[in-house]
Amino acid sequence: MTLQVDIQAQLGDLSLDVQFDAPVGVTVLFGPSGAGKTSVINAIAGLIKPDKGLISLDKKVLYDGQNSVAVHRRKVGYVFQDARLFPHMTVLQNLTYGGRNDFDRIIDILGLRDLLDRRPAGLSGGEKQRVALGRALMAQPDVVLMDEPLAALDGPRKAEVLPYIADIAATQKIPVIYVTHAMAEVTQLADQLVVIDQGQVVRKGPVFDVLADPMAARFFAKRDAGALVSCVVDRHDLDEGVTVLASGAGPILLPGQVGKVGAGLRLRIPAQDVILAQTAPVGQSALNAIATVITEVTPLPNGNLAVMLRAKELPIWAEITPLSVRRLGLETEQNVFAIFKATAVGPV
């Protein structure tokens, strides 16, 4: 099942011109406030009508420039930023307002069984968002839209809700369109990433590919630019106080005890924290030194250079100055070590 979006609209001063496909899984629409992200999902829901274009779901046309399927016939689940639960209803009544599809499995996945008799006033922010997600799913939607659902939550509440969203995306087998401008949510949730700036799609594709593209870095905060890596927890070395991860580039060390052995996780390696060396490092504190080969050296808009690296199966990149490139004589096909501190990277 794939959602196809190709729409154009003039919304005040914003000229919206967006095209992307969203397959099963989580497609994140990422960009600054005012970029047009919410307008896109409102068009998918039928809450606003584009000037022209096409919106279709698994070849079922929802909008084609002439005809527009009514909102209540689109089978879309919408989770808003502020949950929007009915205050006079219990959690059970809120959940079943739109239907009871797959009731037991959904409340178990979202951890809602102990909340069924309570009312929204007695719920935490994270609990409210889980109920709102459950309500959207019980209507048996063909696609779920989520408009910055964690923006109003503090750090611990966000950490509480994110795994539930990831579980839903993995089990429901439908497209989930998730709007955010928070990179931590992108790296933890996204399968596909669509970067929107001033109403235009400026980058799109699998999240690992987009984040590995240095030309996309200008759309992210400096600290957010860098590669996203899939790893598996190999072991915990309690004597040394580190966790050893298995990756496509070999072992990577993290401080402390992270995750369960055998668990998969994503690791973000900020490009600004990667140091390059021509020889294996000795006598320094950084725990991670990965043998790589340079695949490309690309100028960045800020005047620095992106050095693209491949370590076995793993693409990463480093942002360094032109002076460093000249002093090291860096060029494509050269073997170098990518060095980064264990404390500079972490699971997302």
One domain for residues 137 and 178: yes
Which of 211, 234, 265 is the C-terminal boundary of a domain? 211
Residue 158 lies in a domain: yes
Find the CATH number of the domain harbouring 313: 2.40.50.100
Asked if 318 and 296 count as a contact pair (C-beta separation under 8 A), the reply is no
Residue 216 lies in a domain: no
Asked if 211 and 187 count as a contact pair (C-beta separation under 8 A), the reply is yes
- The span from the CA of 315 to the CA of 104, in Å, is 42
Question: Which residue(s) pair with 299 in the sheet?
Answer: 305
Which of 211, 240, 264 is the C-terminal boundary of a domain? 211
One domain for residues 120 and 154: yes
Strand pairing class (175-180; 143-147) = parallel
Alpha helices (H) along 36-174: 37-45, 91-95, 103-109, 125-138, 155-172
Phi and psi of 241, rounded to 5°? 75, 35
* Structure tokens belonging to residue 3: 């959602």
Find the CATH number of the domain harbouring 145: 3.40.50.300
Asked if 44 and 227 count as a contact pair (C-beta separation under 8 A), the reply is no
pLDDT value at residue 347: 63
How wide is the angle at C-alpha 107 spanned by C-alphas 101 and 110, nearest 5°?
120
* Structure tokens belonging to residue 287: 């725990």
One domain for residues 28 and 172: yes
Beta strands in 12-79 (DSSP E): 14-22, 25-30, 52-57, 60-63, 76-79
Residue 217 lies in a domain: no
Q: Would you tell me the crossing angle of helices 125-138 and 155-172 to the nearest 10 degrees?
A: 20
Which of 157, 186, 211 is the C-terminal boundary of a domain? 211
How wide is the angle at C-alpha 38 spanned by C-alphas 91 and 107, nearest 5°?
25
Phi and psi of 172, rounded to 5°? -85, -20
One domain for residues 65 and 134: yes
Residue 142: name the closest of 167, 175, 183 by CA. 175
Residue 218 lies in a domain: no
Query: Digits of tens for pLDDT over the chain (348 positions)?
Result: 899 999 999 999 999 999 999 999 999 999 988 899 999 999 999 999 999 999 999 889 999 988 899 998 999 999 988 888 999 999 999 999 878 888 898 888 888 999 999 999 999 988 998 899 999 988 889 999 999 988 888 878 788 888 888 888 778 889 999 999 888 889 889 999 999 999 999 999 999 999 988 888 888 887 788 888 899 999 999 888 899 999 988 899 998 888 899 988 888 899 999 999 998 888 778 889 999 999 999 999 889 999 999 988 788 899 999 999 999 999 999 999 999 988 887 665
Residue 142 lies in a domain: yes
pLDDT value at residue 147: 93
One domain for residues 15 and 101: yes
- CA dihedral for 52, 140, 183, 207, sign (positive or negative): negative
In sequence order, the 6+-apart residues with CB closer than 8 A to the CB of 101 are: 137, 138, 139, 140
Domain hosting residue 234, numbered range: 226-347
Indicate the pTM of the whole model.
0.88
